[in-house]
Amino acid sequence: MIKITGLDKLQREVNEAQRALSELDGQLGTVNFDPHDPSSIESAIQLVNQMVDQRTAQYTSNPIVAPLIDQMKEAYRESIIAKAAAARLESKEDN
């Protein structure tokens, strides 16, 4: 007979991952930035990172959740940069 161990730990990690994802469901918050000011863009990115960290602080040691947190932060970062670029392009077209 083969004995499988670690399922309790895995189940706990999966349950924590579900709770962490539910913490991030819905509106995370609002950030404003000047698309022409790199420091303003960076501040907005840092603020979003802080919002994610605040919502997921208790789950950062979870091996399932930690990579998801990093991926989410990167997705928000890319979104902010893309929105800033689009706003700069739009303002050039208006001139």
**Is residue 42 a part of any domain in this protein?**
yes
Intervals of the chain under pLDDT 70: 1-6, 95
Residue 46 lies in a domain: yes
> Residue 45 is encoded by which pair of tokens?
């990115």
Asked if the structure places residue 1 within a domain, the reply is no
pLDDT value of residue 19: 86
Return the pLDDT at 3: 66
Supply the range of the domain harboring residue 44: 7-94
Q: How far apart are CA 57 and CA 92, in angstroms?
A: 41
Residue 34 lies in a domain: yes
Asked whether residue 18 is domain-assigned, the answer is yes
Predicted local distance difference test score (pLDDT) of residue 82: 97
For 47-86, letters b (16+ CB in 10 Å) and e give bbbebbeebbeebeebebbeebbeebbeebbeebeeebee
In a domain, 2, yes or no: no
The answer to whether position 70 is within a domain reads yes
Domain count, the chain: 1
What does pTM read for this prediction? Answer: 0.80
